[in-house]
A and B are shown apart, each in its own frame.
Chain A
């Protein structure tokens, strides 16, 4: 059971209040019709699934009902930061490696 800080409620809340919404920062192509099947398939279905630092989207389903981002270590389950949609992460896999 994780304890996740909601950047909107500004509180640590239990995991059962949230639902997981997959990888963060995936940008919808501006012109889908211009993509090849391979590119469209990559956008729709293929995810990084890294071992270690991962930026992901969470939904505060029974709290403020807002989406936000979290940087989580998928190995240790440590949550390094949470931030609002539109903001950029302070912690990255490259940064952590240095």
Chain B
């Protein structure tokens, strides 16, 4: 691979847009006085791995925990994380790993630690993670506009654990998770990222929604 190729996240250009184009000069100001109630921020380039295996196999779980430093969540619709990595429950034998550790490095470590009937697929090129934060009421309405899932039924997240759900989002799909700070992470497919980001700007327009670079 030539060295001069620039790798960019799917939404690398998005900070140039906001729900109120005329206020681009003073991005903190919305309607003259109120701050933007919603902020969308894309995570930097990261690794996404799809992992499949037997969650009731103690050896499998401890090997994954050894590599990532995060225990495998076996309760449906939950995730565990530390400062570098997160493991999201996708199905009874399927997890999504999100990490700032280099993908090929991480995959090699996992393959070395795991044995038996497992699957690891590097899907880093096809995903992106965005964070949605802001006024809790505005966030709740934005999510109600976008998805049929009942996010309000979730308990608050802890610092290293919370809820996640793979569901419909803006007529596409996303993995939505809650965070300890009250914000939400969305994991989107790269091909839908532009569409969903524009959807968020439109749906958040009534509160003022901006993109943070």
Which of A13, A17, A66 is B92 in contact with, Cβ under 8 Å? A66
Inter-subunit contact A13/B149 (CB<8 Å): yes
Which of B76, B90, B91, B167 is A17 in contact with, Cβ under 8 Å? B167
Inter-subunit contact A11/B168 (CB<8 Å): no
Instruction: Say whether A10 faces chain B, with CB atoms less than 8 Å apart.
Output: yes
Of residues 49 through 98 on chain A, the ones whose CB sits less than 8 Å from some CB of chain B are 62-66
Please report the total number of A residues contacting B with Cβ < 8 Å: 13
- Known contacts A62-B173, A64-B166; decide if A16 and B91 are in contact (CB<8 Å): no
**Size bracket, chain B contacts:** 10 to 19
Instruction: Say whether B123 faces chain A, with CB atoms less than 8 Å apart.
Output: no
Chain A min CB distance to B192 (Å) = 12
B residues less than 8 Å from A17 (CB atoms): 148, 167-168
Q: Bound state CA distance, A65 and B173, in angstroms?
A: 12
Closest to A15 in B: B148
Scan B69-93; emit 1 where CB is below 8 A from any A CB, else 0. 0000000110000000000001110
Inter-subunit contact B167/A8 (CB<8 Å): no
Q: Bound state CA distance, A17 and B176, in angstroms?
A: 14
Inter-subunit contact B167/A64 (CB<8 Å): no
Q: Bound state CA distance, A16 and B167, in angstroms?
A: 9
Which of B76, B77, B92, B167 is A62 in contact with, Cβ under 8 Å? B167
Of residues 1 through 18 on chain A, the ones whose CB sits less than 8 Å from some CB of chain B are 8-11, 13-14, 16-17
Scan B99-139; emit 1 where CB is below 8 A from any A CB, else 0. 00000000000000000000000000000000000000000
A residues less than 8 Å from B76 (CB atoms): 8-11, 64
Which of B77, B148, B168, B173 is A9 in contact with, Cβ under 8 Å? B77
Scan A1-38; emit 1 where CB is below 8 A from any B CB, else 0. 00000001111011011000000000000000000000
Give 15 CB contacts A-B under 8 Å: A8-B92, A9-B165, A11-B76, A11-B165, A13-B167, A14-B148, A14-B149, A16-B148, A17-B167, A17-B168, A63-B165, A64-B91, A64-B92, A65-B91, A66-B92
